[in-house]
Structure 1
Amino acid sequence: MRDGHPQSFVDLDDPTVLAFEYVQHLACVLDSLPPGPLGVTHVGGAGLSLARYVEATRPGSPQIVLEPDAELTEVVRRELPLPRRHRIRVRPVDGRSGVAALRDGSADVVVVDAYDGGRVPPELGTVEFLTDVRRVLRADGLVLLNLADEPSWRYVAAVAAGAGVAGLDHQAVLATHDVLKGRRFGNSVLVAAGSTADLDLVELRRHVARSPFPTGMWSGAELARRARSARALTDALAAADPDAASSPRPPDLGRWRLR
């Protein structure tokens, strides 16, 4: 737990065990990619659950984790040691400055899974940030964003609009059926790429169908229809009104279902 909200689950004996539904959805996307090592940059680290999963399923993958909480990282390293010969490098920097320091075309995948007080920080959903993420991605790279939202889906739609402005306009959203149907507050994973060739929707749907959670996916015209009236978030908005540029405040634990 962190800030009163569940953060990570780690099974040291089997790092492929993923307890949280959104982490399963992130893994679905990674599993849909061609086999072999992947260069993955993680914005947000916590217990390094997904980084451990990548190391277990794609040994030798070079991974960078941007986690500003150095004290947390030290506790994780001590209490939940990483496997031998891993290639996971944790940098004690925030996501925005950490991404800015990365080389052009240095990542196959960028995973944005960072929260502060249960909310996505305002600077991690803007057009400017997503433009920098695209710079870091290789030509066929993907960005995956774990986004919490209310049933209105306004925040996810705004981030999707910003990704489109940044040139990552081929998109899909994964979530449990009750979240997609607007029945409760919850997490969605937005996947965005620069071209249709880089986002294999057929293969992704196969993996979604095998998810242990009741998961659905939006893409193409359906996703565009739901996001068409959304306005992209910008650095100017984040500076002027951080609350409006952050993901919504989560409801109290135990009151997740709205109808």
Structure 2
Amino acid sequence: RYIAATRPRSTQQVVEIDAALVDLVRGVLPLDRNWRIRIRTGDARAVLVRAPEDTFDLIVTDVFAGARTPAHLTSVEFVRQASRALRAGGVYAANIGDGGPLTFARAQAATVRAVFPHVCVLAEPTVFRGRRFGNFVLVASHTELPVAALTRRTAGDPFPGRVEHDASLTRFIGGLPPTTDATATQSPSPPKGTWGLPDD
């Protein structure tokens, strides 16, 4: 809806595996017919694999089964499929959750950087330090990213964040290897009470 409002001529394709959720949205929060939004029911990776090359300006992976990102959407093979479907200058973004030692988030940064030469990671400082479970947003492209602008806007958010890139991103990754289909696992479970999850 945000993209439809701010970039009304943009064509969007949404993939959602939960058909009941799609029906709920269409029934309770129907989309304006003038918005160029197509919703497909299916698995995100299966739909992406079938997408033609050089199709999208932006691919956003924001997929959770319950509160965890499915393993098959965390591998370098998946990210390569996203790269293939992007147009020149296109941007890949992924929202993931992690906490504690941040092993999952650091491995995901390594995975995305194995495919794209320009990568940055955004999160709140307490999340970066592993003091709190929270969201990381990975942003990547084959062309330069607007890191300075992202840094300013992230720092000026009502919940200020930090952007790691270049050398600081290398330190964040800490030598972890990219995740492959053979090694992929779903993201860690959030602590109870996180994101509105029940405490018992």
Q: Which residue pairs with 1:176 in the alignment?
A: 124
Secondary structure of 1:187's partner?
A: strand
Q: Which residue pairs with 1:158 in the alignment?
A: 107
Aligned pairs for 1:55-74 within 5 A: 55-74=4-23
RMSD: 1.6
State the distance in 2 between where 1:254 and 1:86 align: 33
* Pairwise CA distance, 1:169: 2.8
Q: Which residue pairs with 2:179 in the alignment?
A: 233
Aligned pairs for 1:63-142 within 5 A: 63-142=12-91
TM-score normalised by the chain length of structure 2: 0.92
Q: Which residue pairs with 2:186 in the alignment?
A: 246
Q: Which residue pairs with 1:11 in the alignment?
A: none
Q: In structure 2, list runs of 5 or more residues that go unmatched.
A: none
Deviations 1:71-127 (A, max 9, x none): 110111110111340011011111110100111011111000000121000000101
Percent of aligned positions that are identical: 40
TM-score normalised by the chain length of structure 1: 0.72
Aligned pairs, how many? 196
State the distance in 1 between where 2:132 and 2:155 align: 21
Alignment partner of 1:213 is 2:162:
no
Secondary structure of 1:208's partner?
A: helix
Q: In structure 1, list runs of 5 or more residues that go unmatched.
A: 1-51, 239-244
Displacement over 2 Å in runs of 4+: none
State the distance in 2 between where 1:252 and 1:209 align: 28
State the distance in 2 between where 1:72 and 1:215 align: 31
* Pairwise CA distance, 1:202: 1.5
State the distance in 1 between where 2:92 and 2:143 align: 12
